[in-house]
Every structure is written in structure tokens, then in C-alpha cells.
Amino acid sequence: MTITINGSDYAVPYDSRVSLLDMLRERLSLTGTKLGCNQGACGACTVLLDGERVLSCLTLAAQADGRDVLTIEGMQGADGSLHPLQKAFIEHDGLQCGYCTPGQICSAVAMARELRRGDPSHVTANLAAGPDGPTREEIRERMSGNLCRCGAHNGIVEAIEEMLGREAA
Amino acid sequence: MTPFAFHVARDCAEALSLGAASGARFIGGGTNLVDLLRQNVESASKLVDVSRLAANIHEVGNGALLVDASVKNSALAAHPMVRGRYPMLSRALLAGASAQIRNMATVGGNIMQRTRCAYFYDVDGARCNKRQPGSGCDAIGGFNRYHAILGVSNDCVATHPSDMCVALAALAALVHLVGPEGERTVPLAEFHVLPGASPQIETVLRPGEMITAIELPPATPAMANSEYRKVRDRSSYAFALVSVAAGLEVVGGKIAEARIALGGVAAKPWRATRAEAALRGLPATRANFLSAAEEELTKAQPLEGNAFKIGLVQRTTAAVLESLAGERA
């Protein structure tokens, strides 16, 4: 009964009502993951579960038993340097208050993988062929589960564009 | 949340055995159930996690596609066979919720999500016949922009919010069930029931029964030439005001097969059988599409806030069918 979080193993809480989000923040002091709406509407609590982005507020910790969780604390390099997307967020003003940022970063990192895999989205014109590259329209649709109340969405899209551009280069 | 035990089912037999207990609930991704438990709209003595059961998508002998109930919504949407043969299903899934929620939500859980509205969630502030049978409905006479216009009752006007189920209804998908009395299949379009005087009952599922798979029938030309259009208050991550799943086969200018289902209009995904029948053999024209949609809506009972849905359904249905007829021509 353990969950691997950023490479370390932790026991699943005894109380099965504990969400993955509350386990991270309240029990492990991994407060990078944010509590926003607590009802699956804002994306602030986004983490990666076995490499796929999920909402930790709607995930019971017990559901993550035996699985691998990556949070914003696990995104930095071994030398403590920022993830390239974190740097891009700073360069492009992809934040104001910063509360939604950890969720945005986790979401975008997983989203890049979905794009590379060729997963279609709601705005993909040719369903069979898959997405026509990382267009702004594709990025905006794929990031619609992460709200930013400060309205930094343009900077967020630009930061993600830069990361995807670097990957393609 | 009231306390509950949590068990992971390793196979179907274990899930059924664990699920037989009083107050036990099956949990897939939990995207709806965890929220309802937290809001104290629902309670459970035990959660049986069925999300780790087999999650395969495979073709069976006659060309049908069998999708296990634990397949994630994102995986079903991205599957090459679904994208190629049943595009309306991929499109419907991709129009639903957010990427994070589609990664969590299972096919079985999507079907089992509650028919609901904001009043259903408002435990402290609103009456709801679904939450507390006999207490009354504050949506009728309240803010009912999002509510049903078809199959409504005096006790409930909530809608089933699934996009996936609308496409499944149009595709005539079958729901495979297993329970204490054995296995059976139910057409998806008959799985959810209209509210009547007992809106707390939403499906034909029997106590202890669970969904094991859905079966998509062998693809017809109308299934392959299909689309899903969702009209909503913002362009992504919102429930439908109305949605249309449709497929069309036109032969020699005449409609050979039309498949139409509507979302956002009823307590269940609404297969538009009257419109489908009205279109058979007619020329594929906008006028015919509009009058067929009108035919489907003759018994619509709008509320103060959602009468706009009648015109919206007609125009959206006609627009989708026109687009499908054009691509075929």
C-alpha cells in the first residue's frame, strides 16, 4: 500500500476519504500542488499519475495505490534548476499571481506528450490523421482544463509554444 | 464525506462479491462520484474500485467493437478504429470535460454519472426530488437555462450531461452487464430512464449489477460518415446546451440511413427516432433536415429559461446533416 511520489514511496493514508491532493499538501507538505475549486473545475491541482495528467482533488489517494505520481516539486532538474517550461513561463509572463501555475506546468508537460503521440483533440480537423502540429488553437483547446483568473492565458500559450518549438527543433 | 471502506477489485467475480454489500458503490475514475460524496449529495459504506479490471478494446467476430468498461475516455477517443469507423464517438468524447478528466474517467463511469443540475448539488439551499424524493423541484420555476425539454416530468427536468452517451445512442451501442443473476445486455438508448414520478431512479441497472463493456455494432456507412456537434456557453470545458450526434448515408441523392441522437435536452441521451424515420428516402436537403428535427420536437415542453433549445436543436441538427451530406456528395 504505497504511492511513489516524485521518486519516493509513501504509505497510502488509512482514511480512504483522503484525496491525493490533501495527502500531498496536508500530510507530505508538498504544497506546490494547489487547492483551487476542489471540484474538478479549475485544474490548479493537476499532477501526473503514471505519466498522464489528472486532477488530484478528484482522485482518492487510495486510487493511486501502487502508482507513480509526479508533482511540480518533481519537475526541476537534479541540480535544482527550473524546468524549461518554468523558465518559459517567467520569460513570457505566463503568470501574475502564480496560483494556477503549478497545475498549468504539469498539465502542459503531459499535453506535450499527448501531442507527440498524435492524440486528436476537439479542434483537430482530420481525426484520422491527428493534430496538425502544436498550433495555438490546439494548445488553447488542450489546456482548457486549466483556468487562470489573472488572465495570463496569452503568455501561457506563448510559453508552451516556446517549449514545443524547442522540442521540435 | 461520511467514512467508507475502499477495496480494489482484481477481477469481475471479486467486484460483484464486494459490490453485493449494502451501501457499496462501484468506482471507476471517480470524477463524478468523489465530488458527490464530498458534497454529501451521495454516501457510500464501501467503494469498490473497478478501474483496474481489464481495459481492452477489441474487434469481435462479426466486426463489432467491444470496449471494456474500464477503458479511459481519452484512450477510447484516440483509438484508431474508433476514429476511423465511428468518428462521432471520438468527437463526442473529445468535446467532453477536460483532458485531465478524460484521462481519469472510464467508459462505465461516464455512463453511470448522475443525471444532474445545480439544484441537485445544492444540499443546503434547494429542494430536489432526485436527492430527496418527494421534496419538490426548485429547477422548475428556477434558473433552468440548462434543463430538459424532452421527456420531462413535473418532478425533474435535469439532463444527463454525457457527450459520449449521445454518440453511443446514435450508434445503437449495447451495454454489457453482469450481476448476481448473471449476464445481460441492454441497448444504451434504453439504459437510462425518464424521470417520471421517481427521478431518483436513473437507469435500469439492478442492485449489485455492473457494466462490463459496451459493444459498438459493425460500422455502417452512416456510422463512418458521422459527426458530433456541441453548442455551449464557452468553446471548451462546458456542458452542452444542446448537442447532436449524427451519421448519414446518401445514395443517389436520397437518404438511405440517418442516425441522430440529441444531448442536453433530456434525462437520457435522446435517440431521435422520429426524425430518423421521417428522413428515410427523402432528398438530403436543408428543408428536409429542418422539418425532420421539428417532427422530433413536437412534444417538447420547454421551461421559461430553455425555450431557445427548440430552435437551437433544429438548426444544429440541420447544420450537422447538411455538412455530412456535403462531404458525401
Predicted TM-score (pTM) of this structure: 0.98
Q: Is B57 a member of any domain? A: no
> What digits encode the pLDDT tens for the residues A126-161?
999 999 989 999 999 999 999 999 999 999 999 999
Examine the fold and report which residue of A38, A55, A75 is the final residue of a domain before the chain moves on: A75
Would you call A65 an interface residue with chain B, using a CB distance cutoff of 8 Å? yes
Residue A40 C-alpha cell reads as 474538478
> What digits encode the pLDDT tens for the residues A25-47?
999 999 999 999 999 999 999 99
Structural domain tally of chain B? 2
Beta bridge partners of B186: B175
Q: Name residues 68-97 of chain A within 8 A of B (Cβ).
A: none
Q: Does residue A164 sit in the same domain as residue A95? A: yes
For chain A, the average pLDDT equals 97
% pLDDT > 70, chain B: 99
Answer yes or no: do A107 and B99 touch at CB < 8 A.
yes
CATH of the domain at B13: 3.30.43.10
% pLDDT > 90, chain A: 94
Residues of A in contact with B25 (CB under 8 A): none
Q: Is B244 a member of any domain? A: yes
Q: Quote the CA–CA distance of B42 and A112 in Å, as a whole number.
A: 36
Q: Is B72 a member of any domain? A: no
Q: Is B107 a member of any domain? A: no
Q: What is the side-by-side strand order in the sheet with B226-231?
A: B226-231, B242-251, B254-263, B270-271
Examine the fold and report which residue of A55, A75, A95 is the final residue of a domain before the chain moves on: A75
pLDDT-derived band at B328 (thresholds 50, 70, 90) equals very low
Examine the fold and report which residue of A40, A58, A75 is the final residue of a domain before the chain moves on: A75
Q: Does residue A62 sit in the same domain as residue A90? A: no
Residue A36 C-alpha cell reads as 483551487
pLDDT at B92 over 90: yes
pLDDT at position B327: 59
Q: What is the ipTM of this complex?
A: 0.98
Structural domain tally of chain A? 2
Q: Quote the CA–CA distance of A49 and A64 in Å, as a whole number.
A: 8
Q: Does residue A19 sit in the same domain as residue A68? A: yes
Query: Residue B32: which domain range?
Result: 5-51
Q: Quote the CA–CA distance of A143 and A61 in Å, as a whole number.
A: 24
Residues of A in contact with B31 (CB under 8 A): 40, 55, 58
Q: Look at the alpha carbons of A68, A74, A79, A84 in this order and tell me if their dihedral is positive or negative.
A: positive
Give CA angle at A98 (A94, A102), nearest 5°. Answer: 90
Q: At what angle do helices A153-168 and A101-117 cross, to 10 degrees?
A: 40
> What digits encode the pLDDT tens for the residues B202-246?
999 999 999 999 999 999 999 999 999 999 999 999 999 999 999
Q: Does residue A29 sit in the same domain as residue A64? A: yes
Q: Is B33 a member of any domain? A: yes
CATH of the domain at A41: 3.10.20.30
> What digits encode the pLDDT tens for the residues B48-63?
999 999 999 999 989 9
Q: Is B114 a member of any domain? A: no
**Chain B closest-CA separation from residue A38 CA (Å):** 8
b/e per residue B292-317 (b: at least 16 CB within 10 A): bbbbbbeebebbeebeebbebbbbbb
Answer yes or no: do B100 and A142 touch at CB < 8 A.
no
**Of residues B1, B8, B95, nearest to A122 (C-beta):** B95
Which is more confidently placed, A84 or A167? A84
CATH of the domain at B306: 3.30.390.50
Would you call A54 an interface residue with chain B, using a CB distance cutoff of 8 Å? yes
Residues of A in contact with B164 (CB under 8 A): none
Q: Does residue A151 sit in the same domain as residue A123? A: yes
Helix (H) or strand (E) holding B108: helix B107-112
Would you call A61 an interface residue with chain B, using a CB distance cutoff of 8 Å? no
Query: Residue A14: which domain range?
Result: 2-75
Q: Is B269 a member of any domain? A: yes
Helix (H) or strand (E) holding B35: helix B33-38
> What digits encode the pLDDT tens for the residues B148-183?
999 999 999 999 999 999 999 999 999 999 999 999
Nearest chain B residue to A117 by CA distance is B78
Answer yes or no: do A54 and B27 touch at CB < 8 A.
no
